[in-house]
Each structure stands twice: as structure tokens, then as C-alpha cells.
Amino acid sequence: MTLNVQFLTMFFMVVSGFYLGIALETFRRFSPLWRHRPVLVYIFEVSFWLIQTFIIFYVLYKVNAGELRVYIFLACLLGFSIYQALAAPLYRVVLEHIIRLFTAIARVLKRLWHILILSPIGWLVRLILWGVWLVLLVLIHLTFVVLLPLKWLVQFIYFILPEKIKNYFNKKVDFYSILKSKLLKWVNFIKGR
């Protein structure tokens, strides 16, 4: 390994250590969200450290073909220490501002979703239900307005009919009621089997 590659490796490992400090700070900031769920804590911790290991080793692989030396770990530790000493307080403030910004954007998007999508759909559903209810009321009123006088007219006509015709209609009604009861018995018998 040449001297240029070694210096480049040192530089990138210091930067990787600095990045690791930022990533760890961000991860720790969000870890209270799943602190009460032990399974999630385990999954997220293991995933975080595996991903960070993969990223740092990928950088190392690109710089010096993945050769591990003691100074690589020391350079990574140096970068992490530089972050902790110089940039951690500033990054925490910046991270909080970014979180507040994204929270505000999410609130605005949620409000827009509610105003532009959910609210009109709710009003449309209410309007449709109101229209259906109105149509049903009109049909019920028309039924009473039209059918009630029609029923009275049929009763009046039946009342003025001669007895022979009344008896004829009564026999037909009896025949249909007997036929209906027999059909119902057969249907119940078939369902029972």
C-alpha cells in the first residue's frame, strides 16, 4: 500500500468516524420512540450497527481494497472524537430544527389531506345519503298518496259487486293461498333435507 493510499485511507476513516457520530446521534434521538418495545429495540439496534459497519467497510473497500490495519480503527475513533468534541452540540440543534421542520410539513400535509380529500368525500357521502333518504321519503309519500286512494277505490268496487262475482274472487283467493302454503311446505321440506 502506497503512502498516498494510506493518507487517503486515514482521511476517509476520520470522515467515516465523524459520520458515525452523526448517525449515532440521530439514531439515539429517535430511539425513545420504540424504547418500550424490546423486540423493536433489539431489531433496530442490530440493524443500525450492521448498516453502519457495512457503510464504513464499503468506504474502506473503495479506498484501499478493504485492508484492515490498526490505524484505520484509530482514525475512525479520531473522527468520532472530533464529532463529539466540536460538532455534537451544533448538530443536536440542527437536528431538532430539521425534526421540527419535518413535523410541521407533515402536519400541513395531513391537514391538506383532510381538507382536500377526506372532507369532500365525507360531504359527498352525506349528500348521497341525504338524496337517497329524500327519494325514499318521496316514494313513501307517493305510495300513500297514490295507493291509499287506489285501495279505497278497489274496496268500493268490491263492495258494489254482485255476490256471485264476490264468491268467484273469494274462491280464487282461497285457491292461491292454499297453493302458496303448499309451496312453502315443500320449500321447508327441501331445506330440511
My answer on whether 113 and 175 are in the same domain is no
Task: Give yes or no: residues 15 and 73 share one domain.
Answer: yes
Q: Determine how many CB atoms are found less than 10 A away from the CB of residue 25.
A: 16
What is the per-residue pLDDT across 63-90, written as a single tens digit (0 to 9) for each?
A: 888 788 888 889 999 999 999 999 999 9
In angstroms, the CA 143 to CA 136 distance is: 10
Give the DSSP H/E element, type plus range, for residue 188.
Answer: helix 163-192
User: Hey, what's the cell of 106?
Assistant: 407533515
Read off the DSSP letter of residue 80: H
- Nearest Cα to 91, choosing from 34, 12, 32, 18? 18
Least confident of 9-18, 85-94, 175-184: 175-184
Q: Looking at the structure, do residues 18 and 110 belong to the same domain, yes or no?
A: yes
User: Counting runs of H as helices and runs of E as strands, what totals does the chain give?
Assistant: 6, 0
Residues 31 and 121 in one domain: yes
Buried b (16+ CB within 10 A) or exposed e, 121-153: eeeeeeeeeeeeeeeeeeeeeeeeeeeeeeeee
Average pLDDT, the chain: 86
pLDDT of residue 106: 95
**Per-residue confidence (pLDDT) for residue 176, from 0 to 100:** 66
Q: Which amino acid is at 160?
A: I
Same domain for 174 and 104: no
Q: What percent of the chain has pLDDT over 90?
A: 44
**Residue range 132-158, pLDDT digits in tens:** 989 988 888 777 777 777 777 877 887
Q: What is the per-residue pLDDT for 157?
A: 81
Q: Tell me, what's the pLDDT at 111?
A: 94
Residue 169 and residue 119 share a domain:
no
pTM: predicted TM-score of the whole model, two decimal places: 0.59
Q: Distance between CA 71 and CA 97 in Å, rounded?
A: 36
Total structural domains within the chain: 2
Q: Which pLDDT band, with edges at 50, 70 and 90, does 193 fall under? A: low
Range of the domain at 58: 3-125
What is the band of 9 on the pLDDT scale with cuts at 50, 70, 90? confident
Same domain flag for 112 and 170: no
178 and 91 assigned to the same domain: no
The total of other beta-carbon atoms located within 10 Å of residue 76's CB is 22
- Cβ-proximal residues to 29 (8 Å cutoff; 6+ apart), any chain: 92, 95, 99
Q: Which of 30, 80, 78 is nearest to 52 (CA)?
A: 80
